[in-house]
Structure 1
Amino acid sequence: MSQNIRNIAPKSVWNHFADLNAVPRPSKKEERIIKFMVDFGNHLNLETAVDKVGNVIIKKPATSGMENRKAIVMQGHLDMVHQKNADTDFDFDNKGIKMFIDGDWVKAKGTTLGADNGLGVAAIMAVLSATDIPHPAIEALFTIDEETGMTGAMGLEGGLLQGEILLNLDTEEDDEIGIGCAGGVDVTATRTYQEEAIVGNVIAYHIAVTGLNGGHSGMDIIKGLGNANKIMNRVLFDGLENYGLRISEINGGSLRNAIPRESFATVVINSTCKATFLLESEALINNIKQEFKTLEPNLSIDIQEVEIPKKIMEIDAQEKFIKAIYAALNGVYRMSPDVEGLVETSNNIARIIVKEGKIKIGCLTRSSSESNKWDLANSLRACFELADLNVDFSGTYPGWLPNMNASILKTVESTYINLFNTQPNVAACHAGLECGILGQNYPNLEMISFGPNIKGAHSPDERAQISSTQKFWRLLKEVLKNIPEKE
């Protein structure tokens, strides 16, 4: 399987990608991939270092004739999002990703692929290991923990890098040149509640919302895809309003930067309501499926009778919780008034856990406007605090403001036009790239972002396009040749 991947052109990129995917590299558990990268740099006899937070820096001198060009930083992140289908048995902490080729695409078997940002890292590795690619002096920066807090970029000290230009290889559309991105903040709401013993003649059900597309909570938020947590809440709200449904536990979503694909709940109702509850729920489910039939054709909402649990939520906490989730915004909050088609501000209700007397709700709020980021975050805070939840803001990071006059923008844009005889899409994106954070300690660093086509990032449907990777590799090599001279 991996051997087939290794035979794809450009072989150097895909071989390095296969090597990366053989190493487990979940966010916040990057010890093995850090060692792998250090060994890689040392094997090439290149200056290699690990900074105090775990970022790996590998330096390669300019090739002959390129010494007078501006030094560049080539940057990608080492960690990957871990998502899998419910029916996939896979241990991300100990197994390498299982890949296969499907036409023009490379995919993984029931899990995320790791092309975000593994292909960018692999391309940098291919440049570092090459002997036939002209390039200026390179500082390869491999950051950690991009997907769950960007702590690698945040912890990178000023003065470690000397490059004048940064090439971020973490864009997922091959016709796009990234010049800006959204910032973000994690919004977490928690509270405790009293559990009650079940009394009376009741029946218990397991409700499962599955089959949703999921996806990147920034880039895909504009699509209006189904959010499993919000869909589950509709079913719970209807059951509470009409049949006195009581919640035992909920487990919905997973990572903050992934649109939740699945949610599961255990509930009880009075046995006398069984027939009407199931009939009413079926009607509601059909309505929801009808709403999402175009975007989410595989949506499944299944209700199955199960063993009666021992405890349920006390009713006051349950009512406030359900109403808070209903009221809390999920999706696009504001479109950019300046860039057509760009989401400015959004929220993803990513994770909901209700179990054993504790509620935890995890959101990721994004915006290219700092003021609107905090406006939406405070709106969520107000909503949750009205339900007696405690709200915490953490992991905040800034956006990346576009610089239309950057020399590297002109270089990449003209190179793209010369190679492909068409105009690239120069744009900001509604995702969290590390450029904005890196720019805080390196304010004079010109930055640009580009990459190959990667679809379904942050979901088990993630796939990387083979022909697009070839296009990206061709562009990257040509850009390296055209880096401007030192001033």
Structure 2
Amino acid sequence: MNSEIRNLEPTSVWNHFADLNAVPRPSKKEERVIQFMVDFGKKLSLDTFVDSVGNVIIKKPATTGFENRKTVVLQSHLDMVHQKNAATNFDFNSEGIKMLVKGDWVKADGTTLGADNGLGVAAIMAVLSSNSIQHPNLEALFTIDEETGMTGAMGLEGGLLKGDILLNLDTEEDDEIGMGCAGGIDVTATRSYTEEKTPKNTTAFTIEVTGLTGGHSGMEIHKGLGNSNKIMNRVLFDSFTNFGLRISEINGGSLRNAIPRESVAIVTVDTISKEPFLFETNTLINNIKQEFLTIEPSLEINIKETTTPKKVMDLGVQEGLIKSIYATLNGVYRMTPDMDDLVETSNNIARVIVKDGAIKIGCLTRSSIESGKIDLANSLRSAFELSGFDVELSGNYPGWKPNINSEILKVVANLYENLHGEKANVAACHAGLECGILGQNYPEMDMVSFGPTILGAHSPDERASISSTQKFWKFLIEILKNTPKK
């Protein structure tokens, strides 16, 4: 399957992407891909080193005639989000991504593709390995752990890089030039509960929410996509009062930056209430599916009898759990008043785990302004603390404040218009790019972000446009040829 990828244009980019995708590279387990990049740089006899946290930096001298241009940092992240369909048998820790070509799209076979941000990495590799592309002095920065904390960008020391300009290759619409982004903070609620012996005369059910689209919890949060954790909570909400429902386990969602696609709960109800429970719940399910029919046509919510569990949650904590999730905002909190159609602040209820006497709920809150981020985080914290949860705020990272006077922004925007006969969409985004963090230790570095069109990032539906990758590659080459003089 991957051999077909290697024949696509531009062949250098797609071949480097295929090589990269053969290397398992989950966030926080990047040892193999770090070594892969070090070997790549050294094979080219380029100055290559790994910093104290694991970021790889490769430097390449300017081509003849470009020595007087400003030094450019090309930056992408090495790690990728690991998501797969429930029916897909795949081990991300040991297998390379299996890729397919479908029309104008490259996708993976039942898993995330890793085009976020693997195509950016591959494009940088193609520039470094080229003998014909004209460019100024280059510093290639390959960061680690972007997807689960941005610890690579956070740990990059000031002074390691000498570049004047940073080109971040992690934007996912090929007509967009990024000039700002949201920051984020993890809101994690935990508490313990007493497991009680399952009452007698009960019937157990497994409830499954599946078939949701999922996707990037920043770039796609405004679409109103279904969140499996919120949908499951809605199904469970009134069933104790009406049918004696007790929760044994819940396992919903996966990664903090992915809109959750699936949730599974094991519950019991009073056997005498079995039929009315099924009738009322199936009525509710049909209503939910009808609400989401346009945007989530593949949504499935299934209930089936199962073996009765030995233990269930105590009622007091169960009530607090369900009500706190119901009260917790998921989705857009505020749109920015300064730019059209841009989300300012949002939250994603990414993970809900209930098992063996412990509850853990994980949210990722994003905002382009620090005060808005903390405001929403405190709102979530209050909802959980009122129900007896301990709440931790962690992984705080800043946004990237737009600079409308950016020199490289003007160069890149003009080049785009000259190449394509139309203006680029110059905008800030609601994703968490690393530019804001990198700018803390390199405040004078002038930055923009761009990239090829990638749809469905952070989900098994992730796909990269072949024609857009060609457009992106030509654009990158032109930018390197037209960087400002010192």
Q: Same fold (TM over 0.5)?
A: yes
State the partner residue of 1:80.
80
Q: Take 2:456 and 2:248, find their aligned partners in 1: how far apart are those partners?
A: 33
State the partner residue of 1:51.
51
Letter in structure 2 aligned against 1:290? Q
State the partner residue of 1:424.
424
Q: Take 2:238 and 2:65, find their aligned partners in 1: how far apart are those partners?
A: 71
Q: Deviations over 1:19-74 (max 9, x none)?
A: 00000000000000000000000000000000000000000000000000000100
State the partner residue of 1:354.
354
State the partner residue of 1:103.
103
State the partner residue of 2:197.
197
SS in 2 for 1:410: helix
SS in 2 for 1:76: strand
State the partner residue of 2:171.
171
State the partner residue of 1:462.
462
Letter in structure 1 aligned against 2:17? F
SS in 1 for 2:238: helix
Q: Take 1:199 and 1:53, find their aligned partners in 2: how far apart are those partners?
A: 52
SS in 1 for 2:146: coil
Q: Take 1:424 and 1:456, find their aligned partners in 2: how far apart are those partners?
A: 22
Q: Take 1:310 and 1:154, find their aligned partners in 2: how far apart are those partners?
A: 46
Letter in structure 1 aligned against 2:57? I
State the partner residue of 1:380.
380
State the partner residue of 1:238.
238
Q: CA deviation at 1:240?
A: 2.2
Q: CA deviation at 1:239?
A: 1.7
Task: Kindly indicate whether residue 206 of structure 2 is the aligned counterpart of residue 206 of structure 1.
Answer: yes
State the partner residue of 1:395.
395
State the partner residue of 1:247.
247
Q: CA deviation at 1:241?
A: 3.2
Q: Take 1:232 and 1:19, find their aligned partners in 2: how far apart are those partners?
A: 40
Letter in structure 2 aligned against 1:141? L
Q: Deviations over 1:270-310 (max 9, x none)?
A: 10111111111110000000100000000000001000001
SS in 2 for 1:149: coil
Letter in structure 2 aligned against 1:200? K
Identify which range, 402-411 or 49-58, moves more after superposition.
402-411
State the partner residue of 2:446.
446
State the partner residue of 2:366.
366
Q: Deviations over 1:125-144 (max 9, x none)?
A: 00000000000000000000
Q: CA deviation at 1:184?
A: 0.3
SS in 1 for 2:119: helix
Q: CA deviation at 1:238?
A: 2.9
Q: Take 1:440 and 1:43, find their aligned partners in 2: how far apart are those partners?
A: 32
State the partner residue of 1:156.
156
SS in 2 for 1:274: helix
Q: Take 2:373 and 2:244, find their aligned partners in 1: how far apart are those partners?
A: 37
Provide structure 2 residue ranges, at least 5 long, that are not aligned to the other structure: none
Q: Take 1:275 and 1:123, find their aligned partners in 2: how far apart are those partners?
A: 59
Identity %: 72
TM-score of the superposed pair, with normalisation by structure 1: 1.00
Q: How does 1:294-309 map to 2 (within 5 A)?
A: 294-309=294-309
Q: CA deviation at 1:242?
A: 1.7
State the partner residue of 1:28.
28
Identify which range, 463-472 or 194-203, moves more after superposition.
194-203
Q: CA deviation at 1:244?
A: 1.7
**RMSD (Å) for aligned C-alpha atoms:** 0.4
Task: Kindly indicate whether residue 147 of structure 2 is the aligned counterpart of residue 133 of structure 1.
Answer: no
Structure 1 runs of 4+ with >6 Å offset? none
Q: Take 1:27 and 1:396, find their aligned partners in 2: how far apart are those partners?
A: 17
Q: How does 1:312-323 map to 2 (within 5 A)?
A: 312-323=312-323
Q: CA deviation at 1:198?
A: 1.2
Letter in structure 1 aligned against 2:31? E
Letter in structure 2 aligned against 1:5? I
Q: Take 1:278 and 1:347, find their aligned partners in 2: how far apart are those partners?
A: 32
Q: Take 1:29 and 1:446, find their aligned partners in 2: how far apart are those partners?
A: 31
Task: Kindly indicate whether residue 1 of structure 2 is the aligned counterpart of residue 17 of structure 1.
Answer: no
Aligned length: 486
SS in 2 for 1:349: strand
SS in 1 for 2:59: strand
Task: Kindly indicate whether residue 118 of structure 2 is the aligned counterpart of residue 118 of structure 1.
Answer: yes
Q: CA deviation at 1:199?
A: 2.2
Q: Deviations over 1:295-335 (max 9, x none)?
A: 00000000010000010000000000000000000000000
Q: Take 2:339 and 2:246, find their aligned partners in 1: how far apart are those partners?
A: 46
Letter in structure 1 aligned against 2:169? L
TM-score of the superposed pair, with normalisation by structure 2: 1.00
Q: CA deviation at 1:253?
A: 0.1
